[in-house]
Amino acid sequence: MADAKNNNIKFIDFCAGIGGGRIGLENLGMRCVGFSEIDRSSTKTYREFFGEEEKNHGDLMKVNFDDLPDFDLMIAGFPCQTFSVIGKRTGMQDRRGQIIFGLIDIMKAKKLKYFILENVKGLLNHGTGESMKIILDALDEAGYKVFWKLVTSLDYGVPQMRERIYFVGIRKDLVENDTPFNFPQPIKKPELKNYLVDTGELEFDEKKRAYETFLKYLDNKYNKGKFSVEKLLKEEFLVIDTRQSDLRLYRGMVPTLRTGRHGILYVRDGKFRRLSGYESLLLQGFPENLSKKVKGKIADVYLLSQAGNAMTVNAVEAFGKSFLDFVNKQI
C-alpha cells in the first residue's frame, strides 16, 4: 500500500480518447505507462499532447494481457454512446456496451489494485437500471469494492454542465477497515469569460452563409417570434445552443460538449462567435500549454468531437484525490 502513500502509482489509460483522464491523474503524481485507443484522429491528438514514449495497446478487446506492462490502476471512460440519452440506448446489446467486460477481464488477469471509470448519466436508468446492476455485480464478483456517484463537471472547476457517473474501485483485499469514501466536494465555478478566449476568425455576420442559416433557424416553428438577433447580441458571453430544433440559452456556463452535432455559439464584443476546438479543450480542463499545441494544427471539427468525448480533467483529478485519501487511510 506504500505506492499510494507516495503517489507512485502506475496506470494505463484505456479508452484514452485524447487523455483527459491521464492529465487528471498525472496532476496528482501518478505515472502513465501506456494507453489504449483505436480512433486514429484521437490518437494523433494524444501523441501531440504526450509524445511517442508510451505504447498504444490498441483495441483492448483484442489485447494480449502478457503484453501489458505492470501497472496498479486503470483509468477508462468506457464508451457511452450505447447508454446515452442522445444515442440509441442499445446498451449491452451493442458491442461497445460490452467493453466494460473487456476492462474487467484485464483487471482480473493483471490482478489490478485500483480503477477509476466514467460513464454517462443515462447508464443509471438504461434497461430500468438493469445495465447498472449488471456492471456493479460484475465488478463485485471480480473482487472490487466499488464507490460511485453521479456528478457534474460544473462542481469541479470548469463552467460546463456535464453530468457523468464516476466509479472508484479498490481490490477488496486492500480494504482493511470501514473508512468511508469521501467523494470530492464541489468548488466555486470559474467565470465563463476566461474560457471563451479564442482569437481566431470564428465570427459570423450577415456576410457569411452561416449567418443566413442561423436566421432561418430562428424562424423555424420552434423558435419563431421568441428571439431576435438584436436582443441576443446585447448580452455579452450569452451561450446559444443550436444543436436541437429549439434554441436554448445559457448564462455563466456551456451545455454538455458532445462528440457530434456541434453548434454552440456565444456573444462576444457584440458579435456571434462559434465555440472553437481550443475553447472546448479549455472547458474540459485541458491546460493552456497542451491546448495550444494542437490549436491550428488539428482541425476544429476533430477537436470539437474529441473534446466532447473526453473525460473532464478537473473531475478526474478530484476523484483521484479522494481515491488517494481513502487508500492512504488503509495503511
CB neighbours of residue 212 within 10 Å = 12
Which stretches in the chain have pLDDT values below 70?
1-7, 80-97, 331
Q: What is the pLDDT of residue 130?
A: 84
Which of 9, 23, 80, 116 is catalytic? The answer is 80
Crossing angle of helices 300-309 and 40-50, in 10° steps, is: 90
Annotation says 32 is catalytic: no
The DSSP result for 44-103, as a single string, is HHHHHHH-S-S-B---TTT--GGGSPP-SEEEE----TTT-TTS---GGGSGGGGHHHHH
pTM of whole model > 0.85?
yes
CB–CB of 157/187 below 8 Å? yes
What pLDDT, in 10s, does the model give residues 258-315? 988 789 999 999 999 999 999 999 999 999 999 999 999 999 999 999 999 999 999 9
Cα gap 310→302, rounded to integer Å = 12
Which parts of 190-312 fold into alpha helices (H)? 209-218, 229-233, 277-283, 288-294, 300-309
Q: Which CATH class is domain 2-186+312-328?
A: alpha beta
Residue spans of the domains in the chain: they are 2-186+312-328, 192-307
